[in-house]
Amino acid sequence: MNASSPPPSALAAVNAPDGLARTVVDGVPFVASNVDSLARHICERAAAAQGGWVVTPNIDILRRLHHDPGFKQMVGEATVFTADGKPIVWASRLQGTPLPCRLAGSDLFIAVFRRAAAAGLRLALVGGNPGTAEQAAARLAGAGAAITRSHCPPFGFENQPEEMARIRSLVTDFAPHIVFVGLGSPKQEWLIQQLRSLHPQAWFLGVGISFSFVAGEVPRAPKWMQAGGLEWLHRLVQEPQRLARRYLIDGLPFALGLMARSLRTRLQRRPRPL
C-alpha cells in the first residue's frame, strides 16, 4: 500500500462501551490512555471477570493490518489497541488528533503484572525462551507474592496437538485472570484467538519480547532512544539479520506512507472556504 492508498476501515472496537477513549489512526482505534490508567482498567475488569484482549501495534503490526485481510479480521476481535510504535503517536499528532503518549506493550506488561500481583490475581505467562517467563515473573514480583504459572511451548507447537492441549489446560485448569503471551506477532495473536473462547473472563495481552526484556536476557533500548522513537534502531543493532528487512525494507516506507496518509486526513478535515 502506497501513500495514496486509503487506510483500512476502522476496526469495530472503536465503539466498545468500556469507558476508554479512542483515537482512530490509519483505521485502527487506538486507546487514548497512559500505561498506569490502562493497567488499572485491565486489572479492575479482570477482577470482575470481564475479559478482554489487548493488541499492541507497532509499525510492523500496523503494516500487517493493511496487507493481510486474515490478520485484520482476526485481531478485529480485540477490545483494546495500544500505540506501541512511536511513529503512530507522531501520525496522530500530524492528523490533528494526538494520542497522549506511546503505550508500549513491554511497559504495559510490567504495569499490569505488578498491579495484578498486588491484587492477588492469577497470572499466566506463555512464550519466551525456556525459563525466561519464570525469571521475568520473579523479578517483577520481587519480595512480594504473585500467583503465576508459565509455559514455554517449543518451536512449531501450533502443529503439535499435545502442546496445544497443554496450553489449553493451563488456561482452563488454572483459570488465570490475565494471560500474557510473548510469542511475537502474528503467532501470539493467533494463539490468543484460539484461547479466548475457553476462558472469556480473562484478559489476554500479546507482549512480544517483553519477557526477555524484564528477565535481562535482551537489553532494552535506553530511555532516550525510546523517547526519541529510536527503539527500533537499538533492536536492529541487536538482531540485524532477522530485523533488517522488517525495519528497513518494509517498515520505513510504510512509516512514510503513514505520515502522508495522516497529513491528508488533517487536510481533509479542514473546513472549506465559502
Q: pLDDT tens for residues 52-74?
A: 999 999 999 999 999 999 999 99
Backbone angles phi, psi at 256, to 5 degrees: -65, -40
271 vs 88, more confident = 88
pLDDT of residue 10: 53
pLDDT of residue 273: 66
User: What is the pLDDT averaged over residues 90-99?
Assistant: 96
DSSP secondary-structure letter at 251?
Answer: I
Q: pLDDT tens for residues 33-45?
A: 999 999 999 999 9
User: What is the pLDDT averaged over residues 243-254?
Assistant: 93
Which SS3 state, helix, strand or coil, does residue 206 take?
Answer: strand
pLDDT of residue 142: 85
Is cis: bond before 273, omega within 30 of 0?
A: no
pLDDT at 4 over 70: no
Residues in the chain, how many?
A: 274
pLDDT at 143 over 90: no
pLDDT of residue 272: 65
pLDDT at 7 over 60: no
Q: pLDDT tens for residues 106-141?
A: 999 999 999 999 999 999 999 999 999 999 999 999
User: What is the pLDDT averaged over residues 2-21?
Assistant: 55
Contacts of 152 (CB under 8 A, 6+ apart): 126, 127, 128, 129, 130, 131, 132, 133
DSSP secondary-structure letter at 64?
Answer: H
Q: Of all helices (H) and strands (E), which one includes residue 182? A: strand 178-182
- Among the listed residues 107, 74, 81, the one whose alpha carbon sits nearest the alpha carbon of residue 24: 81
Buried/exposed code over 88-124 (b: 16+ C-beta within 10 A; e: otherwise): bbbbbebbebebeebbbbbbbbbbbbbbbbeeebbbb
Q: pLDDT tens for residues 173-184?
A: 999 999 999 999
Backbone angles phi, psi at 30, to 5 degrees: -75, 140
pLDDT at 2 over 80: no
Which cell goes with 102? Answer: 506511546
User: What is the pLDDT averaged over residues 257-263?
Assistant: 96
Q: Of all helices (H) and strands (E), which one includes residue 29? A: strand 28-31
Backbone angles phi, psi at 104, to 5 degrees: -75, 145
pTM for the model stands at 0.91
pLDDT at 15 over 70: no
Q: pLDDT tens for residues 199-245?
A: 999 999 999 999 999 999 999 999 999 999 999 999 999 999 999 99
Could you tell me the pLDDT band of residue 154, with boundaries at 50, 70 and 90? Answer: very high
CB–CB of 50/200 below 8 Å?
no
CB–CB of 106/209 below 8 Å?
yes
Sequential DSSP letters for 123-164 = EEEEESSTTHHHHHHHHHHTTS--EEEEE-PPTTGGG-HHHH
pLDDT at 17 over 70: no
Sort 202 into a burial class: Cβ within 10 Å, 0-12 / 13-18 / 19+. buried
pLDDT at 148 over 90: yes
